[in-house]
Amino acid sequence: MRLFVAIRFTPEVQNTLIDCIKELKSSSLSGNFTRPENLHLTLAFIGETSNLNAAKKCMDAISCGKFDITLKGFGRFGDLWWVGLAENPKLSMLVKDLQQRLRDCGFNISTRPFRPHITIAREVKTVSDQIHLNVPNISMTVDRISLMKSERIEGKLIYTQLYAKHL
């Protein structure tokens, strides 16, 4: 199965992101917009594995405690659009620790620098390059990280939480 570790959002943050998606949709010709239930922040992409227990153990070893995140700004990687987060040393430390533990367990985790982003749409075609999204700087407390399974069922991307580690 294809796994990744992520932060899932409170209803308030999710609703804010849904508003951002609506705003982007209204300025786009087409795009593959993230379904509300799929909104997440990826902390580590594990990829194909059958070793669920090893991934869980790495998550269980994390001892960073709860912390807050705040939405801030938006951007794009090519035709992928994202909402960003305010600078967050606690989040950066968590990701560094988690990714290293996963590597030490034998998972092939990318060494690319972590750029926290919430993907709100892919394959977006816009009329103009001058699109602005209104992203309110709302916050939430992160009190768990989730181990997610990613699969495509009848063309639809489905994410299922398999495990949650409380911080």
Under the criterion CB under 6 A, does residue 107 sit at the interface with ligand 3AM?
Answer: no
Tell me the residue length of the chain: 167
CB nearer ligand 3AM, residue 7 or residue 101: 7
Under the criterion CB under 6 A, does residue 38 sit at the interface with ligand 3AM?
Answer: no
Burial 39-61 (b: 16+ CB within 10 A, else e): bbbbbbbbeeeeeeeebeebbee
**Calpha distance 79→108 (Å, rounded):** 26
Q: C-beta of 78: minimal distance to ligand 3AM in Å?
A: 12
CB nearer ligand 3AM, residue 49 or residue 150: 150
According to CB under 6 A, which one of 110, 141, 160, 161 is a site residue for ligand 3AM? 110
Q: SS3 of 146, please?
A: strand
**Calpha distance 16→92 (Å, rounded):** 23
- The answer to whether 156 and 142 are in contact (CB under 8 A) is no
CB nearer ligand 3AM, residue 27 or residue 42: 42
Segment contacting ligand 3AM by CB under 6 A, of 41-49, 65-73, 93-101, 126-134:
41-49
Under the criterion CB under 6 A, does residue 88 sit at the interface with ligand 3AM?
Answer: no
Under the criterion CB under 6 A, does residue 74 sit at the interface with ligand 3AM?
Answer: no
Q: C-beta of 55: minimal distance to ligand 3AM in Å?
A: 14
Q: SS3 of 158, please?
A: strand
- Other beta carbons less than 10 A from residue 14's beta carbon: 16
Would you tell me which residues interact with ligand 3AM (CB under 6 A)?
4, 42, 45, 47, 110, 117, 119, 150
